Amino acid sequence: MSTPAKSLVCIAVGIVGTLGTSLAMAQAVSIPPAVEATFSNLSAAPAVKQALAFLQADDANTLADQKTITGIAAPTFNERKRADYFLGRLKEVGLAEVHMDSASDVCGVVRGTGKGPLLLLSAHLDTVFPQDTPLAITERDGKLYAPGIADDARGLAAILSIARAFKSAALKPVGDVWFCGTVGEEGLGDLKGIKQVFKDIKNIDGYIALESPTTPNEEISFQAAGSKRYRITYKGPGGHSYQAFGLPSANHALGRAIAGISDLQTPKTPKTTFTVGTMSGGNSVNSIAAEATMDLDLRSNDNEELTKLETQALDIARAAAVTENKRWDSDKMRVEIVPVGDRPGGSPSPNSSVVHALWMGVKATGGVPKLSGARSTEANLPISLGIPGAVVGAGGYSQGIHSLDEWFDPKDAWLGPAKALVAILGLVGLEGVSAPTLQKRAP
């Protein structure tokens, strides 16, 4: 690999707009010469070549792990059976200090040889599917179909393969590398698992999330789409639809709120979104509803826009109860607004050590690196804390995520663990080969 004075690759990405006005700028991934030299040395190191050859040879084992993990039901808040299995596997692949924390996250470590940085690599244990969902895997046209086959069984399997590669090639990092399978990433899990990991493992300097490969293997996501989630419930007196006509209806109040929220205007850049994901209310066709509930999801990769949207949506929700009462000259309708999710977001510069390392990892495995749009993942937490972090696919390709028709294409899937391993070694350093490119943060 050559080491020019500067390697500059421009990627057009949107940045924060003001009062709904989009402003586009070209942000650049600019690889410092010293970083290029580090990865050139790594690529030439016999131990690294041995580890990459191992990952390619281990591809079938990784896919077998992925299939086994897929078959263990792990809905959010009920991941324990899969966590127990993963705990045993982390011990089997030779990690040290393997343990389950109070949230049921499962972690183990490869300790470094000196006072290097601490890097965390994780994939999530939970899925969006109910406990009784059939999880049998079928194969058609080279693709594997099953709920959760990619999200995030692939990430968990990739972690096991990377850990095996460390052991097989006797890699000795300078810094510590923690590997974790986490709970509560999906839905109302509200990042419970990764929040606990960051409480328990002190002084994390960098972070990589291995996620379902819904984009080409070369893409790196460095922005975090923050979200606010609310359960909004309207409560009134209820009554018979004919005999008690004239009382306020919880269903009608809910309808007013949904109509108002649906008319909100949000900027395209930064991407800011809303949806009423679920709703329920009433108990019969001939009753005035006494209670009605909706779950509201608000998202943006800009915290200011997210706060603005949150204020607008909740004002509409409160006003709906007032309007429903006014319509019937009543004071019986009330609204309860309960937060059920808070994922911090952020739009850092793409020129972080973790993005640089993943960029060079993609190049070292023959790909053309690209930046992708913001995602809502476990990386939200470190990004919001100012810790260098990013999300990458764990290898292969998938579509239909969160549906019963989810599928995974395993072609060249070993490249996912391979690019991650190269990035990891670049960040934490490899004894006798390279110093860490990830800086230790102030305690």
Domain limits, the chain: 7-224+346-428, 226-343
pLDDT digits (tens, 9 = 90+) for 336-358: 999 999 998 888 999 999 999 99
| Rounded mean pLDDT, 236-249 | 97
Specify the residue for token string 């006509």. Answer: 245
Residue 443 has a pLDDT of: 75
138 in Cβ contact with 145 (< 8 Å): yes
Residue 135 has a pLDDT of: 98
Residue 437's pLDDT band (cuts 50, 70, 90) = very high
Does the pLDDT value for residue 26 go beyond 50?
no
Q: What is the rounded CA–CA span in Å between residue 117 and residue 222?
A: 20
Residue 387's pLDDT band (cuts 50, 70, 90) = very high
| Rounded mean pLDDT, 258-282 | 96
Residue 6 has a pLDDT of: 32
pLDDT digits (tens, 9 = 90+) for 186-210: 989 999 999 999 999 999 999 999 9
Residue 114's pLDDT band (cuts 50, 70, 90) = confident
Q: What is the rounded CA–CA span in Å between residue 244 and residue 185?
A: 45
User: Phi and psi of 87, rounded to 5°?
Assistant: -60, -45
Q: How far is CA 414 from CA 116, 117, 310, 425, in A?
A: 28, 26, 42, 17
124 in Cβ contact with 152 (< 8 Å): yes
Residue 14 has a pLDDT of: 28
Residue 442 has a pLDDT of: 79
What pTM does this model have?
0.87
Residue 137's pLDDT band (cuts 50, 70, 90) = very high
Please, which residues have CB within 8 angstroms of residue 19's CB and are 6 or more apart in sequence? none
Does the pLDDT value for residue 401 go beyond 60?
yes
User: Phi and psi of 327, rounded to 5°?
Assistant: -60, -35
Does the pLDDT value for residue 52 go beyond 80?
yes
Residue 267 has a pLDDT of: 95
Query: Could you count the other beta carbons within 10 Å of the beta carbon of residue 308?
Result: 18
Residue 27 has a pLDDT of: 60
Specify the fold of 226-343. Alpha-Beta Plaits (3.30.70)
Q: Where are the alpha helices (DSSP H) in 272-352?
A: 303-327
Look at 309 and 18; give whichever has higher pLDDT.
Answer: 309
Tokens of 235: 């409560």
| Rounded mean pLDDT, 124-144 | 97
Specify the fold of 7-224+346-428. Aminopeptidase (3.40.630)
Does the pLDDT value for residue 271 go beyond 80?
yes
Question: Which range is least confidently modeled, 13-27, 101-115, 162-176, 366-380?
Answer: 13-27
Does the pLDDT value for residue 22 go beyond 80?
no
User: Phi and psi of 380, rounded to 5°?
Assistant: -55, -40
Q: What is the rounded CA–CA span in Å between residue 236 and residue 383?
A: 42
Residue 147: closest CA among 125, 128, 121, 124: 128
298 in Cβ contact with 310 (< 8 Å): yes
Does the pLDDT value for residue 19 go beyond 60?
no
Q: What angle do CA 345, 351, 356 make, to 5 degrees?
A: 110
Does the pLDDT value for residue 20 go beyond 70?
no
183 in Cβ contact with 335 (< 8 Å): no
Q: Where are the alpha helices (DSSP H) in 95-233?
A: 153-168, 192-200
Specify the residue for token string 């690294």. Answer: 48
**Residues facing 339 on adjacent strands:** 230
Residue 373's pLDDT band (cuts 50, 70, 90) = confident
HSE value, Cβ hemisphere, 13 Å, CA-based, for 390: 28
Does the pLDDT value for residue 32 go beyond 90?
yes
Look at 2 and 192; give whichever has higher pLDDT.
Answer: 192
